[in-house]
Amino acid sequence: MRILVTGLAGFIGSSLGPFLAARAHEVRGEEVEGCDAVVHLANIAHARVSRRRLWEVNVEGTSRMADRAASAGVRRFVYLSSVKAREPDDRYGEAKLAAEQSLLQIASRRGLQVVLIRPPLVYGPRVRAKFLALMSAIAHGLPLPFASIQNRRSLVYVGNLCDAIAACIESPAASGKMFYVADGPAISTPELCRGIGRAFGWPARLFPFPPALLPGERLTGSLEVDDSAIRRQLGWRPPFTLEEGLRATAEWYRSRNRT
């Protein structure tokens, strides 16, 4: 299949392009004419810009891309949304939900096969933001105040996400569906820290601290997803375990700091 991937140079796109090419797909970064499918990744991935700018890119830009795809005869449009679209509590989540709703309207009006994917926190080589900061702290042996946290968070390794995206492109059963995707059962932040420590080859240094006094809902709060739909309807299973994903991420971190 000929597949246009928007955001090909980004965190997820830089893994998805080679992954799809290895499955004998022809991957494009710009031209939509002649493509069989579009994977739309090119969104602003945070809420630190103005609401107007977020809406222009994540909602209006996504809708324009879907209209272009439909006009070019593309059959399937896979949109990487976010778990935040489930119950939006910030303008990023609101924009993701609005983009989903717009895509479903376009699908109904123009016959485009839309597939929505709502991942939780994505990690892997080239990860940024708070996950990268957490890895850096553990890599440098810094003590972290997470020992008392009893939360549950779903995660997805970028390699597993790429495999799920491929399934959504290739499976006829994915058309018109919305899927959550995760590595497996949710884990706590202390479990994640210990897993990162093992990936580096030494224990994470955790100490107790009242959770209510810790900022950063992204890592200290709970956020679980149920990915049984994609497993049941598409027969999807994550090809990588959490441990394998963390090892690959730790190796990338080491190589990044050797250059």
Ranges of residues in the chain with a pLDDT under 50 are none
C-alpha neighbours within 13 Å on the C-beta side of residue 27: 21
> Tell me, what's the pLDDT at 169?
98
Q: At what angle do helices 158-170 and 242-258 cross, to 10 degrees?
A: 120
Q: Of 1, 52, 17, 41, nearest to 172 (Cα)? A: 1
Of 105, 131, 119, 148, which is closest to residue 246 (Cα–Cα)?
Answer: 131
Contact 7, 42 (CB under 8 A): yes
pLDDT tens-digit readout, 201-258: 999 999 999 887 777 666 788 999 999 999 999 999 999 999 999 999 999 999 987 6
Amino acid at 125: P
pLDDT of residue 156: 98
Measured in whole angstroms, the distance separating CA 126 from the mean position of its chain's CA atoms is 13
The burial of 46, by beta-carbon neighbours within 10 Å (0-12 exposed, 13-18 middle, 19 or more buried), is given as: exposed
The whole-number pLDDT of residue 217 equals 64
**Position of tokens 């970028």?**
158
Determine the pLDDT at residue 210: 86
pLDDT at position 49 is: 85
Domains, the chain, in order of start with CATH, read 1-118 (3.40.50.720)
